[in-house]
Amino acid sequence: MAERLTPGERVVAILPFAAVPKLPGRVKRRDKVRFGVRQSWRRYRPLVFTDRRLFVFDSGRTPHPRELMATFPVAEIGVHDVSDGSFGGREIVLDLPGEGSVPFELGRRDRDDLVAVLQLLGIRS
């Protein structure tokens, strides 16, 4: 990760257990979405927020990152909603450039870093 950071850029929060739920209502084989941040299947998408960018990693069905999927400038990210999830987790809906509104389900261990993310994005928790 260190080699991807620009000089002076610092990591603000790491959300290792973030997951994106599957797209609703897509049942036919030809309608499956197989590429991008949000797909027709539930996928883990570990998130790393720096003071300048958001890194979204691809990890498939396990919470172990395989490769960098996308980066987004923090200044262009919006927050639509933050709500309580199941089993002590939280759900945050981010507006990502080129992707639209994407819900991320966070684990109960991600709560402290979520506060740091909301402060970074200018949202009160």
Task: State pLDDT tens for residues 23-70.
Answer: 666 555 665 555 555 555 567 788 899 999 999 888 766 666 778 888
Q: How high does pLDDT run on average in the chain?
A: 78
Q: Is residue 81 part of a domain?
A: yes
Provide the residue range defining the domain that includes 93.
Answer: 2-24+34-120
**pTM score, whole prediction:** 0.78
**Alpha carbon 125 to its chain's center:** 17
CATH number at residue 9: 2.30.29.30
Q: Is residue 15 part of a domain?
A: yes
Counting the structural domains of the chain, the total is 1
Q: CA 69, CA 82: separation in Å to the nearest integer?
A: 23
